[in-house]
Chains A and B, each alone.
Chain A
Amino acid sequence: MEERQIALEVKKVSKRFGQKQANKDVDLTVYRGEIHVVLGENGSGKTTLMNMISGIYFPDSGKIYVNGEETVIRSPKDAYDNKIGMVHQHYKLIELFSAAENIVLGMKDEEKYDINKINNRVSEIASKYGFIIDPKKKVYEMSISEKQTVEIIKVLYRNADLLILDEPTAVLTPQETQKLFDVLRHMKADGKSIILITHKLNEVMEISDRITILRKGEYIATVNTSETNENELTEMMVGKKITLNITRSDPVNPRTRIECKNLCCNSKEGLPVLKNVSFSVNGGEIFGIAGIAGSGQRELLESIAGLQPLTNGEIIFHNPKENRPVTFFHKNLKQIKELAKEHKFHYEDGSEVDLSGLRDSEITKLVNDEKILFNEDEIMNLRDKTPLQIRDLGVKLSFVPEDRLGMGLVGNMNLTDNMMLRSYRKGDSIFVNRKKPKHLAEEIVDELEVVTPGLSSPLRLMSGGNVQKVLVGREISSSPKVLMAAYPVRGLDINSSYLIYNLLNKQKETGTAVIFVGEDLDVLLGLCDRIMVINSGEVTGIVDARNITKQEVGILMTKVLTHDNQQEVTEEGGEANEGQQ
Chain B
Amino acid sequence: MPDWLNILIDSIAFGATFMFGSTGEIITEKSGHLNLGIPGIMCMGGAGGCLMLNLIGTSNMPGILIVLLGIIASFASAALMGLIYSFLTITLRCNQNVTGLTLTTFGTGLMMTLMAKASQTKYLNIPKKYFRFPFADRTDSLQKLGIMFFLVIAIIILAWFILNKTKMGLNLKAVGENPATADAAGINVIRYKYLATTIGAGISGLGGLYYIVDYSASGEAYKSLEAYGWLSIALVIFALWRPLRTIAGSILFGVLFSFSSYVTLIPFIETTLKTKPILQMLPYIATIIILIVSSIKNKKENQPPSSLGLSYFREDR
A-B contact number at CB 8 A:
50
CB <8 Å contact, A95 and B300: yes
- The reply on A355 being an interface residue by CB < 8 A is no
Segment among B180-188, B199-207, B215-223 that sits at the interface with chain A:
B180-188
Majority secondary structure of chain B interface residues (helix, strand, loop or mixed): helix
The contact of B171 among A76, A77, A106, A115, by CB within 8 Å, is A106
CB <8 Å contact, A96 and B167: no
The contact of A101 among B170, B187, B301, by CB within 8 Å, is B170
The contact of A113 among B167, B177, B182, B187, by CB within 8 Å, is B167
The contact of B174 among A97, A113, A138, by CB within 8 Å, is A97
CB <8 Å contact, B177 and A92: no
Interface residues of B in 137-194 (CB under 8 A from A): 165-167, 170-171, 173-174, 177-178, 180-182, 184-187
Mask: chain A, 82-114; 1 = CB below 8 Å from B; 0 = not: 000000000011111100010011101000010
Chain A residue numbers with a CB within 8 Å of B187 are: 105-106
Q: What's the interface size class on A, roughly?
A: 10 to 19
CB <8 Å contact, A94 and B171: no
Chain B residue numbers with a CB within 8 Å of A95 are: 177-178, 300, 306
The contact of B301 among A77, A94, A96, A108, by CB within 8 Å, is A96
- The reply on A498 being an interface residue by CB < 8 A is no
Chain A residue with Cβ nearest B180: A92
Query: What separation, in Å, do the CA atoms of A485 and B122 have in the docked complex?
Result: 77
CB <8 Å contact, B185 and A105: yes
Chain B residue numbers with a CB within 8 Å of A97 are: 170, 173-174, 177
Majority secondary structure of chain A interface residues (helix, strand, loop or mixed): loop
CB <8 Å contact, A105 and B170: yes
- Taking the closest CB of chain B, its distance from the CB of A263, in whole angstroms, is 30
Interface residues of B in 40-74 (CB under 8 A from A): none
CB <8 Å contact, B181 and A138: no
Residue from the set B165, B166, B170, B184 with the largest chain A CB neighbour count within 10 Å: B170
CB <8 Å contact, A106 and B301: no
Interface residues of A in 113-151 (CB under 8 A from B): 113, 115, 138, 140
Chain A residue numbers with a CB within 8 Å of B178 are: 94-95
Chain A residue numbers with a CB within 8 Å of B306 are: 95-96
Mask: chain B, 78-118; 1 = CB below 8 Å from A; 0 = not: 00000000000000000000000000000000000000000
Contact A138 B300, CB 8 Å, known A94-B174, A97-B174: yes
Top-7 shortest CB links A-B: A106-B185, A113-B167, A106-B186, A92-B181, A105-B185, A94-B177, A140-B300
27 contacts between A and B (CB under 8 A): A76-B184, A76-B186, A77-B186, A92-B184, A92-B185, A93-B181, A94-B177, A94-B181, A94-B182, A95-B177, A95-B306, A96-B177, A96-B300, A96-B301, A97-B170, A97-B177, A105-B171, A105-B187, A106-B182, A106-B185, A106-B186, A106-B187, A108-B186, A113-B165, A113-B166, A113-B170, A115-B165
**11 further contact pairs, Cβ within 8 A, besides A108-B186, A113-B165:** A76-B184, A76-B186, A93-B181, A94-B177, A96-B306, A97-B174, A105-B182, A105-B187, A106-B171, A106-B182, A138-B300
